[in-house]
């Protein structure tokens, strides 16, 4: 599945959903998120990289209204449920 990401708000919506999933109790979904973020075919690493690019623009002052992206992204990437994941080594390389 290819996501159509057009705005910083789209990134924010996705990372907010990721955090909601990771804050839940379904461990299978936690592992699915980790696998998807590490899966080249799904574009997980590219999505993370593009998010970081958007964060750079936000920090540079281009998207002042969308500063909420950074906390959502960081909460997802650093979520405790991802730490013991088998896929986190691959995600951590990004």
9-50 residue pLDDT tens? 889 999 999 999 999 999 899 989 999 998 989 889 999 998
Compare 24 and 83 and report the one with higher pLDDT.
24
Do residues 87 and 35 make contact, with C-beta atoms less than 8 angstroms apart? yes
pLDDT tens track for 56-71: 776 666 655 567 888 8
Annotated domain spans of the chain: 8-92
The span from the CA of 93 to the CA of 66, in Å, is: 26
d(CA 90, CA 44): 10
Distance CA 88, CA 91 (A): 5
């Amino acid at each position: 599945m290819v996501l159509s990401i057009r705005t910083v708000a789209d990134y924010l919506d996705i990372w907010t959903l990721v955090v909601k999933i990771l804050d839940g109790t379904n461990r299978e979904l936690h592992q699915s998120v980790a696998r998807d973020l590490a899966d080249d075919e799904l574009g997980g690493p590219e999505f993370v990289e593009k998010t970081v690019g958007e964060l750079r623009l936000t920090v540079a002052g281009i998207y002042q209204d969308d500063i909420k992206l950074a906390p959502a992204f960081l909460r997802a990437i650093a979520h405790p449920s991802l730490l013991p994941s088998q896929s986190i080594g691959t995600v951590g390389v990004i």
